[in-house]
Structure 1
């Protein structure tokens, strides 16, 4: 009595194993019994590798993010196109960078000038404070005019160079690059001033 059941169950498992090994028609039925919930959960548990400790998982996540940031930082310093962040990738963005880096602009001197004006405004001489404020307003207007000149030139050059490509966002990208001093720009400038991009 017990023997027959054992033989029948072993025969059923042998058939199930044989069915799993043979390739099946994708439109045919699955050809094997549905696993029990406990078996399905057990197989799912063994597949997913979750760290047992939250601290360990957080540490692994931090290390992974740190390595990705370091890879992007080296790419920005060296100009490696493959590892650049998404905002800096592509020929359109490279052209916008080269266009901006090949020209002089007032905007790159904005931050140092703002520091000088801030120092002059702290001085307790009212005439000097008024003069520094007026100079700052004049410089700010000149930077806006320079932005307009550079933006229009970049937009025209992008239309000529890349007529069928999406150049959306390239002009603001180039203008934001002009606000940084040339020495501090990332990715590093590849063209010298006066060169054609």
Structure 2
């Protein structure tokens, strides 16, 4: 009989009891495939029905814009756009609406003068030059009046609301000029007072 030193060690390994698995590690089902596990963890970056969601978003935005437009027509300050509810913008509107602005009659005056010039050109050509002079004179008058309005209004805004209210990013000057060039009844937001002369305090 040949002595083998590894035979005893092999026999001990074969007769050793198998390790008992912890109950907490016991498998409750088949291990999922890697592909299935990755698919389960994925989340879509956009909704599945993106077209429908965009349509709903546009409808909500349109509804909001309609509501704000109606508020500006009726003078409902609480439902106007946020930019129209700023204190210094309310002050600008009230100031412009309180005065007679030469620029608000500029377009009607130009249209009337052009119609007159076309009508009388053939019969009275000598009238064209005076009409052109009147039209240009009114144009420069409107510019001068609007500039003077903003010159005074700017000082009032700085005194009441500070320098920030007339900074370039606030566009207060453009806001005042554009409102002064519109006919009073067509202005949006609607003037708070029916008559002129109600100056802001």
Gaps of 5+ in 2: 1-20
Q: Distance in 2 between matches of 1:116 and 1:58?
A: 48
Moved over 4 A (4+): 56-59
Q: Distance in 2 between matches of 1:79 and 1:50?
A: 42
Show the counterpart of 1:80.
76
Deviation of 1:116 after TM superposition, in Å, equals 0.9
Return the index of the structure with the highest Cα Rg.
Answer: 2
Matched, 1:194 2:197: yes
Q: Distance in 2 between matches of 1:118 and 1:50?
A: 59
- The 3 A distance-change label for structure 1 pair 80 and 165 is farther
Matched, 1:121 2:117: yes
In 1, are the aligned partners of 2:74 and 2:190 still within 8 Å (CA)?
yes
Show the counterpart of 1:150.
149
Q: Secondary structure at the residue paired with 1:172? A: helix
Q: Secondary structure at the residue paired with 2:27? A: helix
Q: Distance in 2 between matches of 1:104 and 1:128?
A: 29
In 2, are the aligned partners of 1:101 and 1:182 still within 8 Å (CA)?
yes
In 2, are the aligned partners of 1:107 and 1:143 still within 8 Å (CA)?
yes
**Which of 32, 41, 66 is matched with 2:62 structurally?**
66
In 2, are the aligned partners of 1:96 and 1:171 still within 8 Å (CA)?
no
In 1, are the aligned partners of 2:158 and 2:165 still within 8 Å (CA)?
no
Deviation of 1:121 after TM superposition, in Å, equals 3.4
Q: Secondary structure at the residue paired with 2:188? A: coil
Matched, 1:104 2:104: no
Give the TM-score normalised by the residue count of structure 2: 0.70
Count of residue correspondences: 166
Give the TM-score normalised by the residue count of structure 1: 0.71
